[in-house]
Amino acid sequence: MSVTFKAITTENGKGLFHLFPALCKGCGLCIEKCPVDTIGWAKQLGAFGTPVVEPGHGKPCIACKKCQLVCPDAAIWIERRDGKGRDTSLTAAPEKHVQHK
């Protein structure tokens, strides 16, 4: 991957909530799909000058990754804090970390 995106990482519940403000357009689809209502609007602004999302508004995150799946812009990545975890991809592709100095 030739480009990199900066993440805002929030620890919440069982997951690390990585949010990429350069990708988030503030559509709110993830807020509606969250089963524990932990996602809500943040103060930070995203790609279109609209608020981005953050966890910590309802019950703690259960790392179900529904928000990651439903995001049309791939702006969310949920990492499980216990390290194990189901595959991040629908197709069990290996996780892509980008190493940089």
Residues contributing to the site for other proteins (CB under 8 A): 1-7, 9, 16, 18, 20, 22-23, 25-29, 31-33, 47-48, 50, 68-75, 77, 79, 88-91, 93, 95-101
90 in helix, strand or coil? coil
Residue 5 vs 62, nearer CB to other proteins: 5
In the bound state with other proteins, the residue whose beta carbon lies nearer, of 25 and 62, is 25
State whether residue 66 is helix, strand or coil: helix
**Least Cβ distance, residue 87 to other proteins (angstroms):** 10
Backbone angles phi, psi at 83, to 5 degrees: 85, -35
Q: Is the dihedral of CA 76, 79, 81, 87 positive or negative?
A: positive
